Structure 1
Amino acid sequence: MRMTVIGTGYVGVVHAACMADIGHEVLGVDIDEERVAALTAGHAPIYEAGLNALLARTVKSGRLRFSTSTTEAARFARLHFVCVGTPQVPGGEAADTRHVDAVVDGMAPHLQPGSLIVGKSTVPVGTTARLAARLRAVAPHSEIAWNPEFLREGFAVADTRRPERIVVGVESRRAEATLREIYEPMLISGVPFFSTDPATAELVKVASNAFLATKISFINAMAEVCDAAGADVVTLAEAVGQDSRIGHRFLQPGLGFGGSCFPKDIRAFAARAEELGVGDSIAFLHQVDEINTRQRRRTVDMARNLVGGSFTDRRIAVLGAAFKPESDDVRDSPALDVAASIRRVGAEVRVHDPEAVDNARRKFPGLQYTLDVPKACEDADLVLHLTAWPEYREISPAELGPVVRSRKILDARDTLDAASWQSAGWTLSALGRPRISGAYAA
């Protein structure tokens, strides 16, 4: 089928490349001319496993190309995916849907009869109905549906090719049939397909993110209790996760969630519930958000205690800048937030990350950056492990020991092998765990 993908950010570029890869003819559209030029040359704007090769292959095949013209997009196809951002409104918590609105309003006068606009952006419940009314006034023979994305950064290509489920919110059998045809290769392989009303489809995405965020904040709240009681939150999480009703996924204690989805989505969900008069039903999400933010403050406070109560004239090594491993995304990164907070109160901070250094430098130019772990840790009074990249689990504590000034590490992701660090003479601290000291710790 012919289709367009409007917006070539994280969701859009992955969706466009994957749709072209399964055989569709795709036109990606973005107002950023430099981005379009880079995409046309086969270069992805983000780091995502397998994406560059996929993009280069589909562009070369001729099934994927890019443009800056929504008018061209309307002429190119009758099927249009909207993948633009929905950040928080300035100074508030609600979702800012102005970019989604602009796409629909801009394309409506140019749409071919029988066109279908399919939203993939995360939006407040009721958005599809609101936009459908506006679309009917200008293009009465076209319609709008919602098909939320459920991509995990670092696994987006795999999640698009083999999603855990496909959810579509439609108002006609024609729209459902079109979406079934688009995703036929996935459906043949057994991917569950849920066809429902647009409001339910919109809610599935925000409800999923709210539940996962709640699970993360729950175990981090338990970490606070463990700190107060002298218990071990890692063992607690392992034991609790054995319950099949609960499970282990998203039950890892640590620095908390960040990125472009969870924080803004739970705030926007709570704001929309208030507008609908049911704010009390999900008021707990405010506490979920506060627990998550508090983990960053707790990490800074623990780091301060580990260097003697003050960061003045202290050198801190930070391992990790991206908000999660296998990504170069630093939007609302807990790691960068902690690093910047420590620098603001007097420390010299050196940051390492396998992929996110360039993005981090643009956001916080006052921090020092390096692509070499030993260089980041040179003469450090404390090492902070803030993003759980697999590379950091491969570090040799014995080899790193002579590089630092003091063999102290704060594992804010609770993923390092504590025994190996202890045996190499390090003092390892973590949120919700008793401190483990080695024989040669400074």
Structure 2
Amino acid sequence: MAVIADRCPDVQVTVVDLNAERVAAWNDTDLTRLPVYEPGLDLVVGRARGRNLHFSTAVEAAIAAADMVFLSVNTPTKQRGVGAGQASDLRWIEASARQVAAAATGHTIVVEKSTLPVRTAEAVKAILDAAQGDAGSGKTFSVLSNPEFLAEGTAIADLERPDRVLIGGEDGDAIEALASIYGQWVPPERILRTNLWSSELSKLTANAFLAQRISSINSIAALCEVTGADVREVARAIGSDSRIGSRFLQAGPGFGGSCFQKDILNLVYLCRHFGLEDVAAYWQQVVDLNIWQQRRLSRKVVQSLFGTVTGKRLAVLGFAFKADTNDTRESPAIRICRDLLEEGACLAIVDPKVESRQISEDLGCPPLAAESPGEGGWLPADDPVAAARGADAVLILTEWSAYRQLDWPGIAAVMRRPAWLFDARAVADAAAARAAGLRVWRVGEG
């Protein structure tokens, strides 16, 4: 919405939320305190806010005034009931659709922006049609699907120069109304038009294919480690094939974030619902291998440290699921750290953007008192050297650029010997770490 407002100064964009604290943060004059960290977002918000970008808790009033409403609410995986652990929880989509049905005036174009199971638009349309059928309401609706394909960390660039904009629908006028907004900065050949169901399914499929590549290269990384091959050389060789390409071939601790696992599990559920058991099993394996990779890394640490980490201090560098974001949803670091805490390790965790409060929530336990020894606990650290003080090992779990040039002599000097570096992202200067006296393991390196 910020990018649309920035690129379309003639369009008034109002972002509404029931969370008054979050809306206040979006309206904070200090742009460094926005509730979402995304490189470049502060500049975009700063240019448009107050001109044609507004943040408000007045949900009904904003809907009543709108010509177009984007449904952008969360669609987490269901935690109980039919489809628990796989199907999407659509309660907020239904609640939003009912709110739009009640508050809208005149003709309103309703745009599905959340990631949704295919044919969710049928439910949205049914709710809106019920309001449209009320005698004398004067309300009419069109429903479009406009899934997002941006990536956290590069979201602004992805929106300003998208590979494609996908609009699915049945109302040609509504499709063109939305296309005209994107058309103010997106070349027309990159604005794709499909039916509703193709658009909804395309988002799930895109994320499934990207996650599949990550699980695939991580499976090869494990093979490289036992055969003497190097997964980076393998990735470069196969990535040079124009039919394959080099994107998403970086071996690591597995995929995370708000979308990949959730969307694949949703795809698995849909396939099973429609009786496609073999297809469901195929996509389930992508998730299973991702979990296996994370468990493999935690086991590698324990095995290398003489079979036990009980009472040992381990420095964990990076907790976000990827660099350039403060998002920890489904971060590989969560499962790896939980496994090590279960083994009795004391973790010193540092991340340049993730707050201690979030780490506590994700790990399910508060931090230890500063620098106190303990088994199965964690504490925050200010920097890599502080985290490594007295540690038996350093684990790099997020590929922050700062971790490419660490002070390895300084880090090694404060560690207990023999000391290890476990580089799950293959970003550190391995030669410098070895020269400082550390034993080094890098993912996918034989």
Q: TM (normalized to structure 1)?
A: 0.90
CA contact (8 A) 2:65 2:105 kept: no
Q: 1:208-357 to 2 correspondence within 5 Å?
A: 208-357=206-355
Cα deviations by residue, 1:134-188 (Å, 9 ceiling, x for unpaired): 2112125211111000111111122122211100011111111111111122234
* Structure 1 residues without counterparts, runs of 5 or longer: 1-15, 435-442
Name 2:151's counterpart in structure 1: 152
Q: Partner letter of residue 74 of structure 1?
A: I
Contact 1:170 1:196 in 2 (8 A): yes
1:32-431 correspondence runs (5 A): 32-42=19-29, 43-60=33-50, 62-91=51-80, 92=84, 93-139=86-132, 141-188=140-187, 192-358=190-356, 359-364=358-363, 365-366=366-367, 367-406=378-417, 407-431=419-443
CA distance in 1, matches of 2:152, 2:361: 20
Asked whether the 8 Å contact 2:396–2:425 carries over to 1, the reply is: yes
Tell me how far 1:126 sits from its aligned partner: 0.5
Q: How many residues align?
A: 417
Distance 1:432 1:363 in 2: 27
How far did 1:244 drift? Answer: 1.4
Q: Distance in 1 between matches of 2:3 and 2:161?
A: 11
Moved more, 273-282 or 138-147: 273-282
Q: Look up the SS of the partner of 1:103 in the other structure.
A: helix
Kept after mapping to 2: 8 A contact 1:147/1:168: yes
Counterpart of 1:283 in 2: which secondary structure? Answer: helix
**Aligned twin of 1:4:** none
For 1:339 and 1:306, the matched residues in 2 are separated by 16
Give, in angstroms, the shift of residue 123 of structure 1: 0.3
Distance 1:187 1:285 in 2: 33
- Deviating above 6 A after TM superposition, structure 1's stretches of 4 or more consecutive aligned residues are none
Matched residues in 1 for 2:189 and 2:347: separation? 46
Q: What is the CA RMSD across the aligned residues, in angstroms?
A: 1.6
Question: What 5-or-longer segments of structure 2 have no aligned partner?
Answer: 134-139, 368-377
Give the AA of the match of 1:133: A
- Offset from partner CA, 1:393-419 (integer Å, 9 cap, x none): 011322322121133101111222322
TM-score by length of 2: 0.90
2:161·2:186 contact (CA, 8 Å) conserved in 1?
A: no
Supply the distance in 2 between the matched residues of 1:335 and 1:223 (Cα, whole angstroms).
18
Deviation at 1:329, TM superposition (A): 0.6
Cα contact 1:321–1:357 (8 A) shared by 2 = no
- Write the letter of the residue equivalent to 1:202: E
1:17 paired residue number? 2
SS of match in other structure, 1:144: strand
SS in 1 for 2:107: coil
Aligned-pair CA distance for 1:191:
6.1
Q: Distance in 2 between matches of 1:351 and 1:411?
A: 15
The percent identity for this pair of structures is: 37
Residue 346 (structure 1) shift? 1.0
**Distance between the aligned counterparts of 1:320 and 1:63, measured in 2?**
37
